Amino acid sequence: MINLQRSVSSALTIAEIEARKIRHDSTELWMRTVQPALWLLVFGEVFNAVRSLSIPGYSYIQYIAPGVLAQSVLFVAIFYGITIVWERDVGLLTKLLSTPSPRLSIVVGKALAAGVRGIFQGVMVFALALIIGINLRFDPLDVAGVFIAAVLLAMCFASLSMTLASFLKTRDRMMGIGQAITMPLFFASNAIYPVSLMPVWLQYISKFNPLSYGVDAIRSMLLTGDYSALPVDILALLLSTLFFIACASVVLKRLIE
Amino acid sequence: MLGFVPQAISVDGDLTGYENLLVFAKLFFVGREERKQRILDALEYFGLADRANELVKNYSGGMMRRLEIAQALVNRPKVMFLDEPSIGLDPYSKKQVIDQIRELNREFGTTILITTHDMAEADVLCNRLAIMNMGKIAISGAPADLKHSVGGDVLTVKVAGQAAANLPTGLGSVISSEQGTIKILAEDGEAAIPRLMEYFERNGAVVESVSLSRPTLDDVFMKYAKASLQQEGTFRDARSARRSIARHGR
């Protein structure tokens, strides 16, 4: 019991470190809002005019707002491995591992830290949506649910990134792999177009893409209000997050070897 | 509980000094009540209190090192490992770090294990030290004993006039004597100076200068590390010789 309590408190402390850093310097996160802004303002506006993309009942920009939110969280999280490699390089990781905190809580803490950044991104996309005047459901419970989904998404991809970092070990390689997998993850999801428009083979791939479930969950809360698929979405997201957290905790030690 | 201070400075530059101590105290499960007091004490103790709320990336190297030792201190370890604690520091910061390490041992009874390449640092800090060579302990013991083992103090005396080539027992033994420069090996060099002066003057020689050189841990290192390097050499030689004999024998 005391162990569980300690594990949770360690994980929260590691996330707290991230929050404190963001409080000291949030420049990077502000710059990261440029991209979702472009997706909404440029991509969204232009493709609003494309008729075959029209989604019954909603404008295209409404449709992609949840996708853009999920995407900005994905982009923050998928490069989280670089932070870990950097922390390894300056000796911070070794020091973390030398504390009595279990390795699992270090991984969960780091994933939560990515979640903290994800929340920041979420707030930014919400702000953008308000400014542009995108008509979304701003029900407090839904908004809270969106943030939970965003944190799960961030944790999922940050753990994936940490797992990859444990094998690739350098920042340059992480940069490369990050670039290589973000776009496929993004395009093989329902973030900017419905799955039904995809070729059949891509539809199957999309079924194994955690991002699709994240987007679906966020979209149901933010846009449609149709919660029928929500339990499945959250469960799929939760399972893939747990899976990658388990992977990262098993292999993280490789990073300092 | 163990404390660990790695060679590379590994405090978090994006946090303040206070936060660096705070998060580590939390990760070491130092209770909420003690935490704050210990952190404030440590900051005070290491002379960082006035800059506690500044980002660590603006600290000097010496301050970072002290913060790092403070970090290890907050969880009150019984044993603390320091890897090259004063590497890359200016002489002043180095002295501060060394003084504080010594205080740590004296005040809290922390057992401190240091690895260092700096023989002078090892000399002033350690009660016991071991010289490692090729991953093995070449020799270990108290610094004074080790220095003693490479020989006593060497006095170089310059005299004008004829000097005796032999010294009475108890004063020391002459290593070399040429053109009025006499090298003498003595047990306790400092104490031997006045007695030697007196001896020479009594024997009609005028002492122009005396210099004392004491063995340092560098000498100890050279002696034992070199000795084992040579051993290694002969071992390899022997092995290759054995092999070549075996080849030729077939």
pLDDT at A157: 97
A contact test, residue of B16, B29, B75, B82 with most A CBs within 10 A: B29
Domain B151-213 part of CATH 3.30.70: yes
pLDDT score at B249: 45
Q: Do A13 and B12 touch (CB under 8 A)?
A: no
pLDDT at B170: 74
Percent of chain B clearing pLDDT 90 (strictly above): 22
Tell me the mean pLDDT in the region A204-214: 93
Q: What is the mean pLDDT of residues A214-219?
A: 95
Residue A177 has pLDDT above 70, yes or no: yes
- List the single best residue of A28, A99, A105 to mutate versus B (max B Cβ within 10 A): A99
Q: Is the pLDDT of residue A58 over 70?
A: yes
Among chain A residues, the shortest Cα distance to B5 is held by A95
At A7-21, the pLDDT tens digits run 999 999 999 999 999
Cβ-based contacts under 8 A for chains A and B: 52
Residue B64 has pLDDT above 60, yes or no: yes
- Helices A140-168 and A230-251 cross at an angle (nearest 10°) of 30
> What average pLDDT score do residues A91-113 get?
91
Closest Cα partner for B155 from B219, B215, B223? B215
How far A247 CA lies from chain B's nearest CA (Å)? 23
Q: Specify the pLDDT at position B250.
A: 41
Is A16 close to B8, i.e. CB distance below 8 A?
Answer: no
Are the beta carbons of A96 and B27 separated by less than 8 Å? Answer: yes
- Averaged over A179-204, what is the pLDDT? 91
Rounded Cα–Cα distance for residues B248 and B231 (Å): 25
In whole angstroms, give the CA distance from residue A248 to residue A254. Answer: 10
Answer yes or no: same fold for B2-117 and B151-213.
no
Residue A1 predicted with pLDDT over 90: no
Which of A2, A8, A9, A20 has the highest number of chain B CBs within 10 A, making it the mutation to test binding with B?
Answer: A20
In sequence order, what are the residues at sequence separation of 6 or more whose Cβ sits closer than 8 angstroms to the Cβ of residue A184?
none
B93 or A7: whose pLDDT is higher? A7
Residue of A nearest to B53 (CA): A24
Domain B2-117 indexed as CATH 3.90.1150.10: no
| Contact between B14 and A25 using a beta-carbon 8 Å cutoff | yes
User: What is the per-residue pLDDT for B243?
Assistant: 59
Residue A120 has pLDDT above 50, yes or no: yes
pLDDT in tens, B126-183: 999 999 888 888 889 999 888 888 877 888 888 887 666 667 777 777 877 888 888 8
B68 to chain A: nearest residue by CA?
A95
Neighbour-count burial of A31, counting CB atoms closer than 10 A to its CB (0-12 exposed, 13-18 middle, 19+ buried):
exposed
Instruction: Give yes or no for B81 touching A (CB within 8 A).
Output: no
pTM of this structure: 0.79
Residue A88: closest CA among chain B residues belongs to which residue? B10
pLDDT of res. B87: 82
Averaged pLDDT, A167-190: 93
Chain A contact set for B24 (CB, 8 A): 99
**B10 in A contact zone (CB under 8 Å):** yes
Name the residue facing B14 among A13, A14, A21 (closest C-beta).
Answer: A21
pLDDT tens-digit profile of B205-246? 888 888 888 888 888 888 887 665 555 555 555 555 555 555
What's the CA gap between A249 and A220, in Å, rounded? 32
Residues of B in contact with A92 (CB under 8 A): 10, 12
- In this predicted structure, what is the pLDDT of residue B12? 92
Q: Quote the ipTM score.
A: 0.85
Query: Which residues of chain A does B10 touch, with a Cβ-Cβ cutoff of 8 Å?
Result: 90-92, 94-95
Q: Which of A123-127, A244-248, B229-233 has the lowest mean pLDDT?
A: B229-233
Residue of chain B with shortest Cα separation from A105 = B27
Give the residue extent of every domain in chain B: 2-117, 151-213
Distance from CA of A148 to the nearest CA of B (A): 25
Question: Does A191 score more than 80 pLDDT?
Answer: yes
How much is the pLDDT for B229? Answer: 57
Under an 8 A CB cutoff, do A100 and B14 touch? no
- With CB atoms and an 8 Å threshold, state whether A17 touches B23: yes
Q: Which amino acid is at A144?
A: A
pLDDT at A248: 95
Residue A250, pLDDT above cutoff 90: yes
Which chain B positions have a beta carbon within 8 Å of A91's beta carbon?
A: 6, 8-10
Task: Judge whether B29 is closer than 8 Å to chain A, CB to CB.
Answer: yes
Q: What six digits make up the tokens of A37?
A: 């802004």
CB contact under 8 A, A17 and B24: no
